[in-house]
Amino acid sequence: MISRRTFLSILFGSCFAVISWLNFAPTANALGGKLPAINQPAPDFTLPTNTGNGKISLSDLHGKWTVLYFYPKDFTSGCTIEARRFQQDLPKYVEKNAQIIGVSADNVDSHAEFCDSEGLKFPLLADTTGSVSKAYGSWIGFFSMRHSFIIDPNGILRETFVKVNPSIHSREILSILDELQSS
């Protein structure tokens, strides 16, 4: 039989371990896996899209700042709010030479319908196997986690966001983008 004090100590330690694993403490992991390292080359990708020539690669974005945001599913409430905020702020991103790219496990047809229904003018990439989401530590089960990354014009990962509030996330990214571009 253990004492109440020992029990509480074990309970507290266990809770702390779970909270750390869920990334409430700063670590290199997120719920979706290991995050790529800041100030290192961003993981390369090529995925099908609902826009342009049908595929987008990280190398296509060389010379621009890239906001790569992962989200769970087209047409869901949080994902719709987040996409609308990015679209609303799109002129500000264009002024900053920044391209917004959304990624989810939905297919190209779903992305095309989502863009049409919401008036989105930025590309959404279809990561149906989760390979790119896994490379960015953003894959859990069958969908992408709500994580975002800022990649500089040379393909270097400059910022990671794992605790994303869809309602204010675009403003948050614009603020960090200002800081990164002025440093």
Nearest to 164 by CA among 63, 10, 30, 52: 30
The alpha-carbon radius of gyration of the chain (Å, integer) is 18
Which amino acid belongs to residue 137?
G
Q: Report residue 72 as tokens.
A: 């769970």
Catalytic: 79? yes
Catalytic residue among 56, 61, 68, 79: 79
**What is the sign of the dihedral through the CA atoms of 75, 167, 176 and 136?**
negative
Nearest to 23 by CA among 117, 131, 163, 173: 163
Where in the sequence numbering do the catalytic residues fall? Answer: 79
